[in-house]
Amino acid sequence: MLGRRRPLAPPPAHVRTTLPAVALLVACTQPVAVAKYARAADRTTQAFSGVAGEMTASCVRFERYKAERDGGGWDDDAALRRRCAGRDSAVKNAVVASLVLREYFAALANLAANQLVHYDADVRALAQDVGDAGVDPARARAVGDLAAFLADAATGQYRRRELAQVVETENESVLAVVDGLHAIVTEDYRLELEIERQAVNDYFHTAVATDGAREPLAAMLVKNLRDDQIATIATKESALRSYARALARVRAGHQALYDAREELDAPALANELAGYVTTIDDILAALRQAF
Amino acid sequence: MSVAPPTKLSSAQARDLALAFFRLATQLGEYRFEHWEDTPRAERDRLESMEWRLLSYSSDFSTQSIQLDVDDIQPALDSVRDGTVRLTRAVDRLRTPRDAIGIATTAASLAAAVLTANAAAIAAAVAAAIDTADKTGR
């Protein structure tokens, strides 16, 4: 179910009367901070695919421990992945949502730089698939709206003069998609890692409880292995919290754009956006170490 | 007990259940290790198997919450939540490993019923959960 495109509303009267002067001003001053923010937001949403891949990987690791203890002791990788097919499918829909969001931010950066928007037709088809996959209608609508905007912006040859109105029209959809990704990261993936940690503890604790007294040296090695696995999970949890903070900055940045849409060159907005960009870049640099 | 017609979970409902079954699994795991020495091997194995099953159900509900579907089954979910809360409290009253296996089996049946989205199955599983919880430790 692809969202119905909301047409750009005509500018209000006070904008129409001042349009020539504003156009002249805008032509002289580039909202550089907006472009930088949009590129940072683009990089943030790009990182989601790595996070999403880890969600399926965590499921596979859980299934491996479960198979060892509860399923006859051995399963090949393909069998484990089949058990995580539902997770993989759900994650792919979330990745498509992030892809559309990424295209949106790339378009926003282009508009801020007074460049044309490039549009990948596959994106709209993917967004359509998300809508058909039983995904939350509200989120599917938001994804569809953003995909429709991208098509309109490309065919309508949008430039910087449309920037403020694009921010105004798309803000609700952007926030909805960012919120959906944020919830997946902070709640669903976090719980998946807790499940994996429980699986690790159950697996190794059972081994030590069964044979530890008879083979104390082996038990010590098993505990060390358990500690390594738990430490790896803790690193991923820490990275997730950081990524959630980056998404929160993306959200706050777009809301700031929306609030200041009548004056996108304002120094106060530039300062606020610059702060978000710095934080986002620091977080993404740390993330690259974890995923 | 009246239950809403079969339908899908909302994201928040799925997350709620994912957490509830995760907590049950971890509590039963703690019980298994605390009573390792005084639990026969066969019952330990059975309890462990049910723990893995509950963790799997928790993961399944977590997957559903990613997928997101907003049809509301709040009335049914209220009764399911009541069932999981009673089972969780009942873990504190466990007297024998067999009690623990009973709780785990009932919880797994409840999770399976919710995943089928079948109203009659959910109602029956909730009733069984409440019955098991009420009898545990008494």
Interchain proximity A188–B29, CB inside 8 Å: no
pLDDT at B3 over 50: no
Can you tell me whether residue A53 is helix, strand or coil?
Answer: helix
Interface with B, mutate which of A98, A181, A188, A240 (most B CBs under 10 A): A188
- All structural domains of chain B with their residue ranges: 7-135
A90-117 mean pLDDT = 91
Cβ contact A136–B11 (<8 Å)? yes
**Which residues span the domain enclosing A101?**
31-290
Residues A143-198: tens digit of each pLDDT:
888 888 888 888 888 888 899 999 999 999 999 999 989 999 999 999 999 999 99
Report the alpha-carbon distance of residue B128 to residue A135 in Å, rounded: 32
State residue A17's pLDDT score.
52
Q: Which amino acid, A269? A: L
Select from A182, A194, A279 the least CA-distant residue to A236: A194
Residues of A in contact with B55 (CB under 8 A): 62, 66, 195, 198-199
Gap between the Cα atoms of B117 and A72, Å rounded: 30
List the 11-50 stretch of A: residues with Cβ below 8 A of B: none
Place of tokens 């069984």: B128
Q: Is the pLDDT of residue A18 over 90?
A: no
Q: What is the mean pLDDT of chain B?
A: 85
Evaluate whether A97 touches A138 at the Cβ level (below 8 Å).
no
Return the structure tokens found at B39: 């639990």
**Of A59, A184, A191, Cβ closest to residue B18:** A191
Inspect the interface and report whether the beta carbons of A187 and B15 lie closer than 8 Å.
Answer: yes
Q: Is the pLDDT of residue B70 over 70?
A: no
Inter-CA distances, A82 with A59, A85, A200, A278, Å: 11, 5, 21, 41
The secondary structure of residue A134, as a DSSP letter, is T
Structure confidence at residue B69 as a pLDDT band (50, 70, 90): very low
Which residues 67-126 of B are in CB contact (within 8 Å) with A? 67-70
**Considering only CB atoms, which chain B residues are within 8 Å of A187?**
15, 65
B13 in contact with chain A, both atoms CB, cutoff 8 A: no
The pLDDT-based confidence of A291 (bands split at 50, 70, 90) is low
DSSP code of residue A161: G
Phi–psi pair at A62, nearest 5 degrees: -60, -45
Copy the structure tokens of residue B29. Answer: 């795991």
Looking at the partner chain, which of A90, A137, A199 has a beta carbon nearest the beta carbon of B66? A90
Smallest CA–CA distance, residue B71 to chain A, in Å, is 9
Chain B partners within 8 Å of A69 (Cβ): 48, 52
The per-residue pLDDT for A14 is 53
Chain-chain contact of A199 with B25 (C-beta, under 8 angstroms): no
Residue B118 and residue B6 in contact, taking contact as beta carbons nearer than 8 Å: yes
Confidence of residue B47 (pLDDT cuts 50, 70, 90): very high
Interface pTM, i.e. ipTM = 0.81
Are the Cβ atoms of B55 and A66 closer than 8 angstroms? yes
Is residue A70 a part of any domain in this protein?
A: yes
Q: Are the beta carbons of A188 and B66 separated by less than 8 Å?
A: yes
Q: Taking Cα atoms as reference points, which of B54, B62, B45 lies closest to residue B22?
A: B54
Contact call for A90 and B15, based on CB within 8 A: no
The closest CB to that of B33, out of A90, A184, A205, belongs to: A205
Q: Is residue A178 part of a domain?
A: yes
Q: How far is CA A153 from CA A109, A167, A285, in A?
A: 13, 12, 31
**A69, A86, A180 ranked by CB distance to B52: nearest:** A69
Residues of B within 8 A of A206 (CB-CB) are: 48
- Of the candidates A101, A217, A112, A88, the residue with the CA atom closest to the CA atom of residue A161: A112
Give me the DSSP letters along A192-222: HHHHHHHHHHHHHHHHHHHHTTT-HHHHHHH
Give mean pLDDT, residues A252-275: 94
- What is the tally of structural domains in chain A? 1
Residue of A nearest to B49 (CA): A70
Residue A116 lies in a domain: yes
Cβ distance of B25 and A198 shorter than 8 Å: yes
In a domain, A175, yes or no: yes
- Give the A window 55-74 contacts with B, CB below 8 Å: 55, 59, 62, 66, 69-70
pLDDT in tens, B23-39: 999 999 999 999 999 99
Q: What 3-state class would DSSP assign to A29? A: coil
pLDDT at position A93: 83
Per residue in A227-259, pLDDT (tens digit) is 999 999 999 999 999 999 999 999 999 999 999
In chain A, the residue whose alpha carbon lies closest to the alpha carbon of B20 is A191
Predicted confidence (pLDDT) per residue in B79-124, tens digit? 888 899 999 999 999 999 999 999 999 999 999 888 877 777 888 8
Which residues of chain B are within 8 Å of residue A202 when distances are taken between CB atoms? Answer: 29, 48, 51-52
